Chains A and B, each alone.
Chain A
Amino acid sequence: MNASKPILDVRGLRTEFRKSRKTWFPVVNDVDFHVSAGETLAIVGESGCGKSMLAHSLLQLLPKRISRLAAGDIWLEGRNIAKLSEEQMRAVRGKDISMVFQEPMTSLNPLMKVGQQIAESIIEHEGCSHDEARRRSVALMDLVGIPEPAVRAGQYPFELSGGMRQRIVIAIALACRPKVLIADEPTTALDVTIQAQVLELIDRLKTEIGMGVILITHDLGVVAEWAQRVMVMYAGRKVEEADVETFFSGPKHPYSAALLASVPRPDAIINGGRVEPLTEITGTVPPMDQLGPGCSFADRCERSADICLAQQPQIEMLSNGARVACLRAGENA
Chain B
Amino acid sequence: MSEHPLLTVRNLVKYHHTPNGRVHAVDHIDLDLHRGETLGLVGESGCGKSTLGRTLIRLHEPDSGEIIHHGTDITHLSRAQMRPFRRNLQIVFQDPFASLNPRRTIRQILSEPFSIHGVGSRIEQPSMVELLIAKVGLHPSFADRFPHELSGGQRQRIAIARAIALEPSTVICDEPVSALDVSVQAQIINLLRRLQDDIGVSYIFISHDLSVIGYLADRIAVMYLGEIVEIAPKAQLWNTPLHPYTQALFSAIAVPEPPSVARNNRVGIKGDIPSPINPPGGCRFRTRCPVAMPICSEASPKLLEAGGGAKVACHLVNGTNTVS
Q: A161-B272, A258-B183 are in contact. Are A263 and B253 (CB under 8 A)?
A: no
The complex places the Cα of A37 from the Cα of B266 at a distance, in Å, of 26
Please provide the chain B residues from 85 to 121 with a CB less than 8 Å away from any CB of chain A in the complex: none
The complex places the Cα of A274 from the Cα of B29 at a distance, in Å, of 32
Please provide the chain B residues from 167 to 214 with a CB less than 8 Å away from any CB of chain A in the complex: 181-187, 189-190, 193-194, 208-214
Q: Which residues of B contact A259 (CB under 8 A)?
A: 182-183
Give the number of A-B contacts (CB < 8 Å): 129
B37 at the A interface (CB under 8 A): no
- Total A residues in contact with B, Cβ cutoff 8 Å: 47
Q: Which residues of A contact B294 (CB under 8 A)?
A: none
Q: Which of A117-125, A170-178, A218-226, A324-332 contacts B (4 or more CB under 8 A)?
A: A218-226
Contact A263 B256 (CB under 8 A): yes
A110 at the B interface (CB under 8 A): no
Query: Per a CB cutoff under 8 Å, which of B153, B182, B190, B258 touches A218?
Result: B182
Q: A195-B252, A224-B254 are in contact. Are A264 and B189 (CB under 8 A)?
A: yes
The complex places the Cα of A9 from the Cα of B151 at a distance, in Å, of 36
B191 to chain A, nearest CB (A): 9
The complex places the Cα of A258 from the Cα of B153 at a distance, in Å, of 17
Main secondary structure of the interface of A (DSSP, over half): helix
Contact B268 A197 (CB under 8 A): yes
Closest A residue, CB atoms, query B216? A264
Q: A47-B181, A219-B254, A244-B258 are in contact. Are A192 and B208 (CB under 8 A)?
A: yes
B238 at the A interface (CB under 8 A): yes
The complex places the Cα of A164 from the Cα of B270 at a distance, in Å, of 12
A262 at the B interface (CB under 8 A): yes
Q: A193-B44, A193-B269, A280-B190 are in contact. Are A221 and B253 (CB under 8 A)?
A: yes
Query: Per a CB cutoff under 8 Å, which of B151, B187, B214 touches A270?
Result: B214
Q: A46-B181, A270-B214, A277-B193 are in contact. Are A224 and B259 (CB under 8 A)?
A: yes
Q: Which residues of B contact A277 (CB under 8 A)?
A: 190, 193-194
Q: Which residues of B contact A81 (CB under 8 A)?
A: none
B45 at the A interface (CB under 8 A): yes
The complex places the Cα of A74 from the Cα of B118 at a distance, in Å, of 65
Q: Which residues of B contact A249 (CB under 8 A)?
A: 258
Q: A46-B181, A280-B186 are in contact. Are A196 and B268 (CB under 8 A)?
A: yes
Query: Per a CB cutoff under 8 Å, which of A219, A225, A270, A279 touches B238?
Result: A270
B255 at the A interface (CB under 8 A): yes
Q: A245-B260, A280-B183 are in contact. Are A270 and B235 (CB under 8 A)?
A: yes
B123 at the A interface (CB under 8 A): no
Binary per-residue interface labels of chain A (254-277) against chain B in the complex, 1 for a CB within 8 Å, 0 otherwise: 000011101111110110000101
A311 to chain B, nearest CB (A): 25
B142 to chain A, nearest CB (A): 15
A35 to chain B, nearest CB (A): 19
Q: A191-B44, A224-B259, A270-B234 are in contact. Are A262 and B252 (CB under 8 A)?
A: no
B316 at the A interface (CB under 8 A): no
B248 at the A interface (CB under 8 A): yes
Contact A245 B259 (CB under 8 A): yes
A284 at the B interface (CB under 8 A): yes
Contact A278 B255 (CB under 8 A): no
Contact A192 B215 (CB under 8 A): no
Contact A264 B212 (CB under 8 A): yes
Q: A262-B182, A275-B193 are in contact. Are A269 and B215 (CB under 8 A)?
A: yes
Closest B residue, CB atoms, query A162? B45
A199 to chain B, nearest CB (A): 8
B323 at the A interface (CB under 8 A): no
A309 at the B interface (CB under 8 A): no
B1 at the A interface (CB under 8 A): no
B158 to chain A, nearest CB (A): 16
B239 at the A interface (CB under 8 A): yes
Contact A192 B256 (CB under 8 A): no
Contact A196 B185 (CB under 8 A): no
Contact B186 A192 (CB under 8 A): no
A281 at the B interface (CB under 8 A): yes
Contact A266 B187 (CB under 8 A): no
Q: A194-B272, A258-B183 are in contact. Are A275 and B215 (CB under 8 A)?
A: yes
A213 to chain B, nearest CB (A): 16
The complex places the Cα of A260 from the Cα of B269 at a distance, in Å, of 28
Q: A163-B272, A221-B211, A284-B151 are in contact. Are A193 and B182 (CB under 8 A)?
A: no
B212 to chain A, nearest CB (A): 5
Q: Which residues of A contact B262 (CB under 8 A)?
A: 224-225
Contact A221 B215 (CB under 8 A): no
A25 at the B interface (CB under 8 A): no
The complex places the Cα of A5 from the Cα of B208 at a distance, in Å, of 40
Please provide the chain A residues from 228 to 255 with a CB less than 8 Å away from any CB of chain B in the complex: 244-245, 247-249
Contact B255 A244 (CB under 8 A): no
Closest B residue, CB atoms, query A226? B254
Which A residues are within 8 Å of any B CB, using their own CB?
46-47, 147, 161-164, 191-197, 200, 218-226, 244-245, 247-249, 258-260, 262-267, 269-270, 275, 277-281, 284
**Closest 5 A/B residue pairs (Cβ):** A266-B214, A221-B254, A264-B215, A262-B186, A278-B186
Given contacts A218-B181, A225-B259, 15 further A-B contacts (CB under 8 A): A164-B272, A191-B45, A192-B208, A194-B272, A200-B268, A244-B258, A245-B259, A249-B258, A263-B256, A267-B214, A270-B239, A277-B194, A279-B186, A280-B186, A284-B184
Which B residues are within 8 Å of any A CB, using their own CB?
44-45, 151, 153, 181-187, 189-190, 193-194, 208-216, 234-235, 238-239, 248-249, 252-260, 262, 266, 268-269, 271-273
Please name 30 pairs of A and B residues whose Cβ atoms are closer than 8 Å in the assembled complex, sorted by A.
A161-B273, A192-B44, A192-B210, A192-B252, A192-B253, A193-B44, A193-B248, A196-B254, A200-B268, A218-B181, A220-B182, A220-B256, A221-B254, A222-B254, A224-B255, A224-B256, A244-B259, A248-B257, A248-B258, A258-B183, A264-B214, A265-B215, A265-B255, A266-B210, A270-B234, A277-B190, A277-B193, A278-B189, A280-B187, A284-B184
